[in-house]
């Protein structure tokens, strides 16, 4: 998919520590990125004309151990794909068009050339699908793998989205299809069974999540979105952050839609759809739109083949954040520097913590 023709004499089994930086650059990175403008320089090069036509935005994020690794998907490709997705998803929340990724890899010397190539394949393929590419980066050795990236994007003048800008009465739209990552976890843990073709579909969506770049850009440039944030830590902390940025509360419906396959997993696992939809890992967006624009926004996204559903309404801040039964919403949150911060772990315990489901 990445379209890289590897003519390198370095075999996949060679350890990076046996090659050294010069040989890695010459035999692995140059065959892949040698055609990128400024390759080998200390700074990545972006087309200056792109920045003149709009507002430049940048984001940086690191990539933790993907949940799919715990599910048995140990190919480094998935970590590379997730690294790109995490950063491109932040650009999506700004309504930006990606211009390029700057990547940073700290890898143990025992990493093989083949493992490194698969990591690069994942980043490159994800970037390509989202209409961008790697434009620079850094590589160093260290005792443990650490992956981070910076994504640069461009917003149409006057269209950049942030977390602030919403008002009481605005509708909240959930953009994208939630539930696939943790549906796959439940399938791996044998809490549900589906035909092989459906399992393969859920696995694909779990291993290769898509940032909602097209959706964010479409809503922003059409003037239909007032605020947005990507769902990186779970639906609850996303809504809470948007409420905090706007001094508002929210009333959220528990009647959320899932695609048929993850919905079937819910039924078999004894879970409600809301339990799966509020979990993290599918890189959806929450977007605030004016009440009169909600249907047009959904129709516009449907024209792009993008799912969107109304999940609630902003209310005055004094009303707090509640569910449709009137009870305060204290949802799950996978937040840094907290007991729920993602550090991996044993699958059954993770399912219990994230979904409230005691496996087996």
Average pLDDT of the chain?
92
Beta-strand ranges (E) seen in the chain are 55-63, 97-107, 134-141, 146-155, 171-175, 227-230, 248-252, 285-289, 308-316, 321-323
The Cβ-side half-sphere exposure at 84, using a 13 Å CA radius, reads 31
**300 annotated binding-site participant:** no
Q: Where in the chain is the domain with CATH 3.30.1330.10?
A: 16-155
The answer to whether residue 6 scores a pLDDT higher than 70 is no
**325 annotated binding-site participant:** no
- Give the pLDDT score at 360: 41
Report the SS3 class of residue 139. strand
- Residue 58 phi/psi, 5-degree rounding, is -145, 150
- Residue 357's pLDDT band (cuts 50, 70, 90): low
Over residues 54-102, the pLDDT tens digits come to 789 999 999 999 999 999 999 999 999 999 999 999 999 999 999 999 9
**59 annotated binding-site participant:** yes
Instruction: Choose among 145, 82, 88, 84: nearest CA to 111.
Output: 145
The answer to whether residue 21 scores a pLDDT higher than 90 is no
- Give the pLDDT score at 10: 85
CA distances from 176 to 56, 117, 230, 263 (A): 25, 30, 10, 15
- Write out the CATH class of domain 171-355: alpha beta
5 CB neighbour count, 10 Å cutoff? 8
Over residues 285-335, the pLDDT tens digits come to 999 999 999 999 999 999 999 999 999 999 999 999 999 999 999 887 777
CA distances from 157 to 212, 296, 310, 317, 318 (A): 20, 22, 27, 31, 34
CA distances from 29 to 6, 112, 115, 148, 235 (A): 10, 14, 13, 17, 38
Of 33-47, 99-113, 241-255, the one with minimum mean pLDDT is 33-47
- Give the pLDDT score at 88: 98
**329 annotated binding-site participant:** yes
The answer to whether residue 270 scores a pLDDT higher than 60 is yes
**232 annotated binding-site participant:** yes
CA distances from 93 to 100, 163, 229 (A): 16, 9, 5
- Give the pLDDT score at 358: 45
Instruction: Choose among 212, 191, 202, 110: nearest CA to 356.
Output: 191
**121 annotated binding-site participant:** no
- With vertex at residue 90, the alpha carbon angle to CA 86 and CA 92, rounded to the nearest 5 degrees, is 110
Over residues 114-134, the pLDDT tens digits come to 999 999 999 999 999 999 999
- Give the pLDDT score at 36: 87
**124 annotated binding-site participant:** no
Over residues 238-259, the pLDDT tens digits come to 999 999 999 999 999 999 999 9
Q: Where in the chain is the domain with CATH 3.90.650.10?
A: 171-355
Specify burial of residue 76 (Cβ count, 10 A radius: 0-12, 13-18, 19+): buried
What is the Cα–Cα distance from 319 to 109, expressed in whole angstroms? Answer: 54
Q: What six digits make up the tokens of 345? A: 């772990």
The answer to whether residue 51 scores a pLDDT higher than 60 is no
State the fold for domain 16-155: 60s Ribosomal Protein L30; Chain: A; (3.30.1330)
Instruction: Choose among 81, 157, 112: nearest CA to 12.
Output: 112
What is the Cα–Cα distance from 89 to 73, expressed in whole angstroms? Answer: 22
Of 14-18, 94-98, 245-249, 336-340, the one with minimum mean pLDDT is 336-340
- Give the pLDDT score at 356: 78
Over residues 144-172, the pLDDT tens digits come to 999 999 999 999 999 999 999 999 999 99
Percent of the chain with pLDDT over 90: 80
What is the Cα–Cα distance from 236 to 242, expressed in whole angstroms? Answer: 10
Q: Are 254 and 329 in contact (CB under 8 A)?
A: no
Measured on CA atoms in the order 182, 183, 185, 186, is the torsion positive or negative?
Answer: positive
- Residue 202's pLDDT band (cuts 50, 70, 90): very high
- Give the pLDDT score at 42: 72
- Give the pLDDT score at 2: 52
The answer to whether residue 49 scores a pLDDT higher than 70 is no
């Amino acid at each position: 998919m990445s379209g890289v023709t590897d003519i390198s004499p370095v075999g996949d089994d060679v350890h990076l520590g046996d090659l050294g930086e010069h040989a890695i650059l010459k035999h692995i990175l140059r065959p892949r990125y040698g055609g990128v403008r400024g390759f080998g320089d200390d700074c990545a090069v972006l087309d200056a004309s792109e920045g003149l036509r709009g507002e430049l935005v940048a984001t940086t994020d690191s990539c933790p151990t993907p949940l799919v690794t715990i599910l048995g998907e140990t190919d480094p490709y998935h970590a590379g794909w997730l690294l790109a997705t995490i950063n491109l998803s932040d650009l999506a929340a700004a309504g930006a068009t990606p211009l390029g990724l700057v990547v940073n890899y700290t890898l143990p010397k025992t990493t093989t050339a083949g493992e490194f190539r698969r990591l690069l394949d994942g980043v490159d393929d994800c970037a390509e699908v989202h209409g961008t590419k790697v434009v620079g980066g850094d590589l160093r050795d260290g005792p443990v793998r650490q992956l981070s990236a910076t994504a640069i994007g461009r917003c149409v003048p006057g269209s950049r989205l942030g977390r602030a800008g919403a008002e009481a009465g605005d509708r909240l739209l959930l953009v994208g299809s939630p539930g696939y990552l943790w549906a796959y976890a439940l399938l791996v843990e044998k809490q549900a069974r589906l035909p092989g073709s459906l399992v393969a579909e859920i696995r694909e969506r779990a291993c290769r999540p898509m940032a909602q770049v097209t959706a964010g850009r479409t809503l922003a440039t059409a003037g239909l979105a007032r605020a947005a944030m990507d769902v990186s830590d779970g639906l609850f902390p996303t809504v809470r952050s948007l409420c905090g940025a706007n001094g508002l509360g929210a009333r959220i419906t528990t009647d959320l839609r899932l695609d048929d396959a993850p919905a079937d997993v819910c039924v078999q696992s004894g879970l409600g759809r809301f339990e799966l939809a509020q979990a993290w890992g599918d890189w959806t967006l929450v977007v605030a739109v004016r009440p009169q624009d909600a249907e047009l926004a959904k129709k516009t996204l449907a024209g792009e083949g993008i799912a969107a559903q109304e999940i609630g309404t902003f209310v005055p801040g004094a009303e707090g954040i509640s569910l449709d039964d009137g009870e305060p919403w204290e949802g799950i949150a996978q937040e840094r520097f907290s007991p729920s911060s993602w550090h991996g772990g044993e699958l059954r315990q993770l399912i219990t913590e994230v979904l409230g489901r005691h496996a087996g």
